[in-house]
Amino acid sequence: MKNSITIVSMVLVCAIAFFASCKKNVSPIEEKGLTPYVLNIPPGLPPMIIPADNPMTEEGVALGKMLFYDPILSGDNTQSCGSCHKQQFAFSDSTIRFSIGIDKLPGTRNAMPLVNLGYQKQFFWDGGAANLESQVIGPIQNPLEMHETLVNALAELNAHPQYPALFKKVFGGDKITTSMVMKAIAQFERTMISGNSKYDRVKRGLDVFSAQEQRGMQLFTKIDKGDCGHCHVIGSTFSDFEYRNTGLDSIPADSGRGRITLNPSDDGKFKTPSLRNIALTAPYMHDGRFATLEECIEHYNTGFRYTANLDPNLENSKKGRLNPSEIQDIIAFLHTLTDTEFINNPKFKK
Amino acid sequence: MKRIQHIVLLLAAVICFASCEKKNTPEPSNTNTANSAKVTIAFANEVDGQPLELGQMKYTNAAGNLYQVNLLKYYVSNVILVKSDNTEVNLGNYDLIDASDLSTCKVEAADIPNGTYTGIKFNIGIPYDRNHNGAQDGDLDPALGMIWDWNTGYVFFKHEGKYRNSSGVDKNLAFHYATDRAFTAIEVPLTNPLVVNGTARTLKLKFNLNNLYTTPTNVDFNVDNSRQSSTAADFPWLDNLKESFSDAFIFDKVE
């Protein structure tokens, strides 16, 4: 008996030694002298899946932030990602419908807020970017936005006094490549997590809704009332990130998701946006046509058109189901999704 | 019992070291042995037997349109060499052939096992699992201008240039062949087999651009001169082009 215990304990010791001895090889990040970035995910939000080919590091996130705020990525070095994605507006662009690019030309869609992007699978209003990394090169090259070629941007980065060493530290290699720029910015963007609004605090028992906010939350989810939660799933991300035609136009001026799938039944469909920080991101819809949340909710209440591919949930909703005070209640609830910690977090500041 | 303990200890020690050693020791380098050799597959871009020269208004398609090529780029991926016994060697490559740079007009494989190869298969385009991700390097680097940034996916084939229209005026021409629908499998029989026996070989293929504009119907550039693969209206054109690709590549010789 004693012998068998000894053997078991020896095997255990060896097993520990086995894992301990190999630990050094487990994290290639630490081997390179990098510090793994630990995401601080608030309770209520799910774990974030990080792509295996872009593990997050403190150094990678810092580099991504530097690039995010650096106009070096635009054609005439006057605009950065941060020029149209401003922290005080939850990283959307103030109150204008269409952001103005370096050539003083307006874009065609409203700048999206950058909030909890690590939970989304596809990017842009139409989901055209297949992952967060791939999204990065869109605004850089768009003639209506930063209007820069990747070849120029890389030449400038490679000739910069600081960037080559920073990139080499994070990604290795002797030259900065496109994929490194994409990965660094995506790393920074994945840290932009919002989950400490009044709504979240109430869920955690740290705060209480006002009577109006409480009524608003009930109307938000009630099927025969707001029914907002059908698509803007309540809790965590406040969107299922699917594509829908919400009856904005009989003939959509922007084919939306249809431009990506080339399927006419997807024309005029756009990604359901998250409602977190929605009170900060006016104007609303893909083209910013609604200046206020009132206008927005009134569209879903009475304004929507019976388009051929109108979302079935909306098609089955009775027009005029909300009265003006109920709309105000829902707006009061939506304001509880504003996360002041997020918009003041120095980690995301320029 | 002591002996058993010693054996366990020894075994454990061996496991500990062996398990780690594997990761620290580099794989034995694949030196060229007599069992294999480097094979280069060279693509010669031509128009009906004339070597392609960019920027020259001197080619005529089957519809009789005079045209010039300013840019010709395409992806050749997953080259497979087929042995006479039908076994295959897959190179797993993604190569961008750019007619403006001869050094790109080839696919190289360092270690092709000795044997007699009687066929070659490859794809024009990028397979699905690699097609929808921009953060890639080498020939898939987005800076090479072959990826859509608004709808993540590579343009598999580009022909840009000019054609002389029916009024004698030179007009722009741009064909971009893209989307997963356009992913095309090519198979070229090797009239003379590629025999690999320990020394480097070059397999030469020809690509005849005019073939793209002949089957199943002759393409008249006055009618069809701009296709971006970005609307469903381009599907029939994509499907026709897909068919045309199959006989646009022909075997030339083995050196």
Query: What confidence score (pLDDT) does residue B32 get?
Result: 46
Q: pLDDT (tens digit, 0 to 9) for every residue of chain B, 255 residues total?
A: 445 555 444 444 444 444 444 444 444 444 545 799 999 999 999 999 999 999 999 999 999 999 999 999 999 999 999 999 999 999 999 999 999 999 999 999 999 999 999 999 999 999 999 999 999 999 999 999 999 999 999 999 999 999 999 999 999 999 999 999 999 999 999 999 999 999 999 999 999 999 999 877 899 999 999 999 999 999 999 999 999 998 899 999 999
Please report residues of B whose CB lies closer than 8 A to that of A260. 151
Whole domain around residue A74: which residue ranges?
A: 58-193
Same domain, A101 and A215: no
Same domain, A181 and A217: no
Residue of B nearest to A141 (CA): B149
- Residue A22: φ, ψ to 5°: -95, -10
Residue that terminates a domain, selected from A193, A224, A240? A193
Domain boundaries, chain B: 35-254
Specify the CATH number for the domain of residue A70: 1.10.760.10
Q: What is the C-alpha separation between A262 and A309, in angstroms, rounded?
A: 15
**Confidence tier at A29 by pLDDT (50, 70, 90):** confident
Contact check, Cβ <8 Å, A263/B179:
no
Is A283 contained in some domain?
yes
Contact check, Cβ <8 Å, A178/B8:
no
Residue of A nearest to B149 (CA): A138
Please report residues of B whose CB lies closer than 8 A to that of A18. 12, 15-16, 19
Helix, strand, or coil (residue A205): coil
Is A209 contained in some domain?
yes
Same domain, A232 and A100: no
A81-113 tens-digit pLDDT: 999 999 999 999 988 999 999 999 999 999 999
Could you tell me which of A190, A151, A186, A122 has the C-alpha nearest to residue B152? A122
Same domain, A331 and A219: yes
Query: What confidence score (pLDDT) does residue B6 get?
Result: 55
Same domain, A187 and A229: no
Residue of B nearest to A153 (CA): B143
Contact check, Cβ <8 Å, B151/A260:
yes
Is A1 contained in some domain?
no
Q: Is B23 on the interface with A (CB under 8 A)?
A: yes
Same domain, A148 and A212: no
Query: What confidence score (pLDDT) does residue A31 get?
Result: 82
Helix, strand, or coil (residue B99): coil
Contact check, Cβ <8 Å, A137/B134:
yes
Residue that terminates a domain, selected from A193, A220, A236? A193
Query: What confidence score (pLDDT) does residue B26 get?
Result: 41
CB under 8 Å to B85, separation ≥6 — which residues? none
Same domain, A87 and A180: yes
Same domain, A203 and A185: no
- Look at chain A and report how many structural domains it folds into: 2
Please report residues of A whose CB lies closer than 8 A to that of B21. none
Same domain, A186 and A208: no
Residue A6 has pLDDT above 70, yes or no: no
Query: What confidence score (pLDDT) does residue A118 get?
Result: 97
Is A301 contained in some domain?
yes
Contact check, Cβ <8 Å, A150/B16:
no
Q: What is the 3-state secondary structure of A11-66?
A: HHHHHHHHHHHHHHHHCHHHHCCCCECCCCCCCCCCCCCCCCCCCCEHHHHHHHHH
A242-296 tens-digit pLDDT: 999 999 999 999 999 999 999 999 999 999 999 999 999 999 999 999 999 999 9
Cβ B163 vs Cβ B67: under 8 Å: yes
Question: What is the average pLDDT value for chain A, to the nearest integer?
Answer: 93
Q: What is the C-alpha separation between B54 and A213, in angstroms, rounded?
A: 68
Query: What confidence score (pLDDT) does residue B216 get?
Result: 77
Could you tell me which of A194, A200, A58 has the C-alpha nearest to residue A113? A194
Is A278 contained in some domain?
yes
Q: Is the ipTM of this complex over 0.95?
A: no
Q: What count of other Cβ atoms lies within 10 Å of the Cβ of residue B81?
A: 25
Q: Is A316 on the interface with B (CB under 8 A)?
A: no
Q: What count of other Cβ atoms lies within 10 Å of the Cβ of residue A180?
A: 26
Query: What confidence score (pLDDT) does residue B15 get?
Result: 44
Interface test with B, best of A22, A176, A262 (most B CBs within 10 A): A262
**Confidence tier at A2 by pLDDT (50, 70, 90):** very low
CB under 8 Å to A64, separation ≥6 — which residues? A183, A184, A185, A186, A187, A188, A189
| Residue A14: strand pairing partners | none
Residue that terminates a domain, selected from A168, A193, A218? A193
